Amino acid sequence: MYRQSETKNQPKESSKNDNKELIVQLEKQVSISIWIQTIGKIMEALYLTELLRQSEEIGTDPYENQIVQGVWIQTIGQFLEAVGVTKEVLSSENPGQLEGATLANIGDWIQGIGAIYEAHAGRQVIAEEREQGVSNLFVP
């Protein structure tokens, strides 16, 4: 009877171990994905900054500047989130995981603030362009 229960429990334990390994692997893939997003966000911020520098019309508009500032704020938040998630995934101790999760959450909040800042400026640019009847509009 003991052998029967031992045999029955082995597949469950094996399944639990397989599930834990899968979860760890998926967490690592999420971390990598967030770093890919971070690289994309950095590229966006750099290109928008260069666009702002090159364009005489855009460079003088305070709302266009605010859009770029909002993207940079989001970029900082995205970077903090990536560092936090990576710390969370790589940490084997609960305090380290909690610190990582906290940092990732702070990054999320900063991204949200940057998005609101950018969206508000974008709305103002659209309103100005609508008043002027301009059809050549680029609001990222």
What's the domain range around 106? 2-132
What CA–CA distance (Å, rounded) separates 44 from 68?
9
Number of domains in the chain: 1
User: What is the pLDDT, as a whole number, of residue 139?
Assistant: 63
CB hemisphere CA count around 65 (13 angstroms): 7
The answer as to whether 138 is a domain residue is no
pLDDT in the model for residue 1: 46
| CB 79, CB 38: distance < 8 Å | yes
The pLDDT, as a whole number, for residue 89 is: 95
Domain assignment present for 57: yes
pLDDT score recorded for residue 4: 52
Q: Which segments in the chain show pLDDT lower than 50?
A: 1-2
pTM for the model: 0.80
Q: Look at residue 140 and tell me if it is in a domain.
A: no
Q: Tell whether 11 is covered by a domain.
A: yes
pLDDT reported for residue 131: 83
The reported pLDDT for the residue numbered 133 is 75
Look at residue 79 and tell me if it is in a domain. Answer: yes
Task: Identify whether 137 is part of a domain.
Answer: no
State residue 135's pLDDT score: 61
